[in-house]
Amino acid sequence: MNCVHFDTLRCRSCTELAQPYATQLAAKLRHCQDLLGGPDRLHWLAPVESPPTGFRNKAKMVVSGSSDAPVLGIRDAQGQGVDLGDCPLYPPSLQACFPAIRAFITAAALPPYALDSRRGELKFVLLTEAPDGGLLLRFVLRSEATVARIRKHLPSLLAALPQLQVVSVNLQPEHKAVLEGAREILLSPADRLGVAVNDIRLQLRPQSFFQTNTAVAAALYAQARAWIEALQPARVWDLYCGVGGFALHAAAAGREVTGVELEAEAIASAAQSLAALAASGHEVGEVHFISADATDWALRQPAAAGLVIVNPPRRGIGERLSRYLEAAAATRWLIYSSCNAESLARDLALMPSFRARQARLLDMFPQTRHHEVIVLLERA
């Protein structure tokens, strides 16, 4: 991948860009195998590659500069704005949206937030694109001071970007490195963006998390579904279920699936996706989504599911849940999807009754050292 921002040291986020893609992929696989076991101990399926460019489905843009000349991108080490509207990680369709968004910021007179003076309003622009081109746009503001101006000028933005389906404002009043706040103000009639993943259409609400690489996320869910269909468990738990990607791919006639996620907005998205899937004629069996802490919820249940899926944040599932699953005799299989092989290895060390049977590396984040790895474990 060629990137002028990397070459001129303006942006070094893609830490592995100087390495050929095949070398990057081999290093990630070697790292996972060193932690989890090589081919002599564990059956590794072929890695899932990603296009090295144009794979990101979302842009998280820091807004700097002025309302007359807004800069969308990052801040460098000196705090100056670096415009990344032409970042090659974004597909051309996403890059093409930024001129209209800059023009809107100018027309609505939205002053970017200045870190040094703590003045201004607009902190971030968050843009998500579905495979069919639909867009979800969020403006992260310090306060409600400019919301009326955004509403007033929104028709011009919708005219410039007719594929824009969901628009909202997020309020983040604190002066600290937090991307968004708790309060969301919906500005569009639609409250969700449909994202087709395999044969399921996930419904993403503004505050819902979704993987940044749709094609690789589809492969991740498809791999879990293939394992589940081979094992045919009667009950499945999807802990840290997010918007329900794993749970909905596990849903089938005669099967009970429960997804648990702390974030209420993600659960609302999952419930909307389930309703849409059932309405389309899909046989979903018995599926429930619950907003709760995954560990606390699991420890309150009288009996665990026969197959448990965990997809935690980088810190892993931790000691409490690991020891619970180790002791849960009813759980015969565990599918662990991780974005951090180190925490995955630590958690698996606390569950010695489980043996890893198959694993797969999925390159969710080309040009970096980050990756996703999914492992199928069976109680010995």
Return the DSSP state at 305.
Answer: -
Closest of 122, 157, 128, 119 to residue 140, by C-alpha: 122
The position carrying tokens 């909202």 is: 168
Tokens at residue 360, please? 């797969």
Whether 339 is catalytic: yes
The answer to whether residues 240 and 296 touch, using CB atoms and an 8 Å cutoff, is no
259 backbone dihedrals φ, ψ, rounded to 5°? -105, 135
The position carrying tokens 């599926």 is: 287
The answer to whether residues 105 and 156 touch, using CB atoms and an 8 Å cutoff, is no
How far is the C-alpha of 61 from the C-alpha of 75, rounded, in Å?
10
The answer to whether residues 136 and 127 touch, using CB atoms and an 8 Å cutoff, is yes
According to DSSP, the β-strands at 43-44 and 354-362 are parallel
According to DSSP, the β-strands at 307-310 and 286-291 are unpaired
Tokens at residue 59, please? 């842009």
10 backbone dihedrals φ, ψ, rounded to 5°? -75, -30
Tokens at residue 116, please? 């040094």
| Catalytic hit among 3, 11, 32, 339 | 339
Distance of CA 361 to the CA centre of its chain: 17
SS3 172: coil
87 backbone dihedrals φ, ψ, rounded to 5°? -55, 125
**What is the helix (H) or strand (E) element at residue 58, kind and residue range?**
strand 58-65
State the alpha helices, DSSP H only, in 161-244: 214-231
- Dihedral, 354, 270, 312, 137 alpha carbons, nearest 10: 150
Distance of CA 68 to the CA centre of its chain: 32
Q: In 10 A of CB 188, how many CB atoms?
A: 15
- Catalytic annotation, residues: 339
